[in-house]
Structure 1
Amino acid sequence: MKNVITILFIAVMSLGISAQEKVAKIEFKTDVIDYGTIEKGSDGVRIFEFTNTGDAPLVISNVKSTCGCTVPAWPKKPVMPGETGEIKVKYDTKRVNPIRKTITVYSNAETPTVALKIKGQVVDPNKTSVLEKKSKSMVEQ
């Protein structure tokens, strides 16, 4: 009876050791993209590059933005260990205001949610600010 219990104990322990699962890991080159100051109507597409540094296929299940003005696109197929991928983010540059948006990536990675950020300022070159008008009028006097 002791032998049976010992054998069962060893079997359960070896199962636990071999059951260590492989995991995907997502590693981004950067988690913030700064658009800087860009003109209204300019190209609003930027790319977040990442690598699967884990030892299992990485599956991105969803990518969401905090606003409808920012549209993400991501790989629908698994990214194999050691491979790279990209998440494209398109900001609607017809909106003249500061850019401060968060894009959340959902995956099967060891860290299942990752927050990416974009920032910047969209300006209309055809419109001058009140400060510019004031400084010009003061200089012209």
Structure 2
Amino acid sequence: MKKNLFLIVLLALAAQGFAQTSTPKAAGAVITFEKKTHDFGDIVQGDKVEEVFKFANTGTEPLIITNVQVTCGCTTPKGWPRDPIAPGGKGEVTIAFNSAGKMGKQNKVVTIVSNAVNADGAQVSFTTNVLEKKVTPQ
């Protein structure tokens, strides 16, 4: 009797382990970034740096990016896909930063405006520490 009960419990646990539950994709476009932050580390005042943020459309509808918004003139969106990105398709947004006139720790946020159902989470950011440019006497 104990042996049979043990086998029944073991089979029930095994059946649960093998049961697959698939998570349905969200209806609509979904933008999913490989990474959402980047640290340029220390740079010297006047340096220009840029980073490419790669993403995929993990939704069920084409993803359409209509704008990339920055918080100041020192940050520039250099490029993003203008054509719709099919479900499963990939793209990238290139962001440039000009440190002229900046000093110290910088934290910039960039908002990607699109038709994604998770559009409220469509932000990337970067940090850097701008060091004073040293002038060497000649």
Fold match, TM over 0.5?
A: yes
Identity score, percent: 34
Structure label with greater radius of gyration? 1
Question: Partners of 1:76 and 1:93 in 2: how far apart?
Answer: 28
Residue 34 (1) aligns with residue 39 (2): yes
Matched letter for residue 92 of structure 1:
N
Which residue of structure 2 aligns with residue 89 of structure 1? 95
Which residue of structure 1 aligns with residue 132 of structure 2? 124
Q: Structure 1 residues 42-51 or 100-109, which shifts more?
A: 42-51
Which residue of structure 2 aligns with residue 109 of structure 1? 116
TM-score, normalized by length of structure 2?
A: 0.70
Matched letter for residue 131 of structure 2:
V
In structure 2, list runs of 5 or more residues that go unmatched. 1-25
TM-score, normalized by length of structure 1?
A: 0.68
In structure 1, list runs of 5 or more residues that go unmatched. 1-20, 128-141
Structure 1 runs of 4+ with >6 Å offset? none
Aligned residues: 108
Matched letter for residue 45 of structure 1:
E
Cα RMSD of the aligned pairs, angstroms, is 2.0
More helix by share: 1
Q: Residues 95 and 122 of structure 1 are in contact (CA less than 8 Å); yes or no, is this contact kept in structure 2?
A: no
Q: Residues 52 and 83 of structure 1 are in contact (CA less than 8 Å); yes or no, is this contact kept in structure 2?
A: yes
